[in-house]
Structure 1
Amino acid sequence: MEQASKIAELNDRLRCHHIGGRVMITQGIQVLDQNAIAEIIAAVSAFSDFTPDNDPWGEHDCAAMDVGEHRIIFKIDAYDREMTFASPDPADPAVTLRVLTIMLADEY
């Protein structure tokens, strides 16, 4: 499988099913009411509108969207297993720890 496709598959697995890494929400998301938080997390999980404009490398690692009255950005980063450096091979889950961060756009 092509490397970008494999990375996209692993990123989608984390984003859609919260499997294969950690999911983090920022303080800006944390202070919202529980319904808004649930709606935002569900919207990020359901997001599929990747295009060459918002996903030029085909890795499904970042996008922005509107959820209710909030502009949201999600970003997936691939670290080495110790979370010290970038992953040596983001297509290999054995050497990669993914972190999905969900934030308000104005926190970026």
Structure 2
Amino acid sequence: MSSTQDRVRRVRHLNDAFRKTFAGGRMMMSASVAALPDMVKSAAWLKVSEFNKWDAGNDPHHEHDFFSFELCNRTFFWKCDYYNNEMDGGSEDPSDPSRTVRVGLLMLVDEY
């Protein structure tokens, strides 16, 4: 396996662990999601943690860093971005958790 494939596999593994456990980064929601009823927000976060329908359309780079889902007649997006430890720029190596802060953002489709 090439070093690029190893890096992508490691990023995917780290993203999946973060998405499933919410540990290893920061989960955030947009203002529109925050304004939804608590039961809708809870159901949306559960969908984030359980998502596992990856395909070429939603995961072209095989990193498991973006997807959408439907809930309560709304379309949600979840996106994972990679920041450096100072949170003032992008991570130079998202496959290295010691150099990367993952930020997962849950938003509504019209906010993207």
Classify the TM-score, shorter chain. Answer: over 0.9
* Structure 1 unaligned spans of 5+: none
For 1:64, the equivalent position in structure 2 comes to 68
Unaligned runs of 5+ in 2: none
2:109 is aligned with 1:77: no
Q: Give 3-state SS (helix, strand or coil) of 1:2's partner.
A: helix
Size of the alignment, in residue pairs?
108
Q: C-alpha offsets along residues 34-66 of structure 1, whole Å, 9 cap, x if unaligned?
A: 000000000011100011111011000001111
Report whether the alignment pairs 1:19 with 2:20.
no
- Structure 1's consecutive aligned runs of 4 or more residues displaced over 6 angstroms after TM superposition are none
After superposition, the C-alpha distances for 1:4-62 in whole angstroms (9 at most, x for unaligned) are 11101111111110010000011111111000000000001110001111101100000
One-letter code aligned to 1:16: K
Equivalent runs, 1:1-108 vs 2, <5 Å: 2-108=6-112
Q: What is the TM-score normalised by the length of structure 1?
A: 0.96
Using structure 2 for the length normalisation, give the TM-score.
Answer: 0.93
Letter in 2 for 1:43: K
